[in-house]
Amino acid sequence: MNSLFFVNIAKGAGLVPCGGPGEVVCTACHLFLLVQNLLRYAMQLGVVFAIISLILLGFQYMINGDKEKVKIIKRLKSLGIGILLVMGAWTIINTVIVIVSPAQGLVNNWYVIECDDGLMDIK
């Protein structure tokens, strides 16, 4: 949860740890790192919003009458389907990359971007 609000502060870097005073020169690799950091932040926000939605829908289910419960159950199903779609998409992508890649290629950590400057050991 801390990483949600304090993106890379512990490392003293912004979204991309390059180009500033005392930092390495930006390369094309850092552009991919920027995309990775933005996607990671969006996923963390999505998890927080899903949890908040689940809690609010649970309270609505307990408080409202029978007519509203049908709508709330439909929303809960939609939330569950959305979570399963996101998790399923990642699982499918991971499986395809593991199957298609060579034995010692991208298999271990394909989702971790490492640039030559040694700063990209983010996991």
Task: Walk along the chain (123 residues) and give the pLDDT tens digit of each residue.
Answer: 555 554 444 455 577 777 778 778 888 888 888 888 888 888 889 889 999 999 999 999 999 888 888 899 999 999 999 999 988 998 898 888 777 766 555 556 667 777 776 554 444
Per DSSP, the residues of 12-50 read T--SSS-SSTTSPPP-HHHHHHHHHHHHHHHHHHHHHHH
Mapping DSSP to helix (H, G, I), strand (E, B) and coil, where does residue 122 land?
coil
**Global pTM exceeds 0.75:** no
Q: At residue 68, what is the residue type?
A: E
Handedness of CA 10, 49, 59, 76 (dihedral sign): negative
CA–CA separation, 37 and 52 (whole Å): 23
